[in-house]
Amino acid sequence: MPEEILNSKEIERALKRLTHEIIERNKGVRNVCLIGIQRGGVLLAKRLAALIESIEKERVEVGSLDIALYRDDIHIKDEQPVVRSTDIPFQIEGKTVVLVDDVLFTGRSIRAAMDALIDYGRPAYIQLAVLIDRGHRELPIRADYVGKNIPTAINDQVEVYIDERDSRKDRVVLIRG
């Protein structure tokens, strides 16, 4: 049975806190851009950008990054990763790039994302923001900004639903494995 572990209010609070942390850590958002990892991170990145703009009154650039071609499990997974679009309509050279993803788990997606990102240019800093950190890392990777830490078993599934039009429908559920 799927069990709701975060409702829309709690998600909103978490994102607001992340926003403040990003602004505080970078002393504003000058030179900061957000890049969401396909698919779960894309809408979250847009949300964070909107929140930053409402607080700082300054525009932040937002892009999306597809990591299918950089994964290390292409040859062992049953299903082939779907190739989606990457849309980074700005230079990342010298910027502070905040990578955004919904769930941080093994860390392998983040490794792939960093490799993919560096093929677009050389950012000054790469930081990582995730809504959920569920543990079970397989690589030496940690997030700079975490919405919520959720202890899970390795076979559990964590699913994040972000609604593009109606944030009241947002939720995070845990499905016990």
Partner 1 sequence: MSVMLRSKDLLGIRDLTPEEIKLIIDTASGFKDVLKRDIKKVPALRGKTVVNLFFEPSTRTRTSFELAAKRLSTDVINFSVPASSVVKGETLKDTALTIEALGADFVVVRHSSAGVPHFLSRILRASVINAGDGANEHPTQALLDLFTIRAHKKRIKGLIVVIIGDIAHSRVARSNIYALTKMGAKVRLVAPSTLIPLEVERLGVEVYNSVEDGIRGADVVMTLRLQLERQVKGFLPSPEEYFNLYGLTTERLRLAKKDAIVMHPGPMNRGVEIETEVADGPQSVILEQVTNGLAIRMAVLYLLSRRRRTR
- Segment near partner 1 (CB under 8 A); pick from 24-32, 42-50, 84-92, 142-150: 84-92
Residue 119 as a binder of partner 1 (CB under 8 A): the answer is yes
- Does the footprint of partner 1 cover residue 120 (CB under 8 A)? yes
Q: Is residue 82 a contact point for partner 1 (CB under 8 A)?
A: yes
Q: Is 61 in the site for partner 1 (CB under 8 A)?
A: no
115 binds partner 1 (CB under 8 A): yes
Choosing from 15, 22, 62, 66, the residue that interacts with partner 1 (CB under 8 A) is 66
In the complex, the smallest distance separating the C-beta of residue 97 from partner 1, rounded to whole angstroms, is 15
139 contacts partner 1 (rule: CB under 8 A): no
- The C-alpha torsion from 32 through 37 and 38 to 41, rounded to 10°, is -80
Q: Which of 14, 18, 41, 86 binds partner 1 (CB under 8 A)?
A: 86
19 vs 64 by CB, closer to partner 1: 64
Q: DSSP for the chain?
A: -EEEEE-HHHHHHHHHHHHHHHHHHTTSSTTEEEEEETTHHHHHHHHHHHHHHHHH----EEEEE--GGG-S-TTT-SSPPPP---B--S--TT-EEEEEEEEESSSHHHHHHHHHHHTT---SEEEEEEEEE----SSS---SEEEEE----TT-EEEEE--SS-GGG-EEEEE--
Strand order of the β-sheet with 171-175 is 2-6, 171-175, 157-161
User: Which position among 24, 27, 57, 85 is part of the footprint of partner 1 (CB under 8 A)?
Assistant: 85
Residue number, 83 or 154, with CB nearest to partner 1 = 83
The contact set with partner 1 (CB under 8 A) reads 66, 68-70, 74, 79-80, 82-87, 115, 119-121
